[in-house]
Amino acid sequence: MPLSKIPSEIQVNVTILCMAHLCCRLFQGHTEQGLPTTFLDEYKRLMKWEQFSIAHIAQKIILPGLMNKIDTFPTSFKELLLKYSEGLKAGT
């Protein structure tokens, strides 16, 4: 949804939710090219992340914070994060 259609008081929350969904899709093995990114440029601009790809956001901004709290997540999400993280280390 374009930011112009979202009430200003919840734009950041909606943006975070949409970005989280895109990052999760990457963690699940989807390619960046296959993601629904219609309003991504608007969301990145709001977060001041215009210069970053969604892969960079997922790997360098989101993943480190999630890994710091990995023990608080359900097992299935932990496994997803660990698999994605290990794939990054292995270069896949």
pLDDT class for 90, splitting at 50, 70, 90?
A: confident
- Residue 90, classed as helix, strand or coil, is helix
What is the pLDDT, as a whole number, of residue 92?
A: 61
pLDDT class for 28, splitting at 50, 70, 90?
A: very high
Q: Where are the domains of the chain?
A: 3-90
Computed from CA positions of residues 50, 22, 7, 61, in that sequence, does the dihedral angle turn out positive or negative?
negative
- When pLDDT is averaged across residues 56-79 and rounded to a whole number, the result is 96
Phi, psi torsion values for 7, nearest 5 degrees: -55, 135
What is the pLDDT, as a whole number, of residue 82?
A: 96
pLDDT class for 1, splitting at 50, 70, 90?
A: confident
Note the pLDDT tens digit of each residue in 47-66: 999 999 999 999 999 999 99
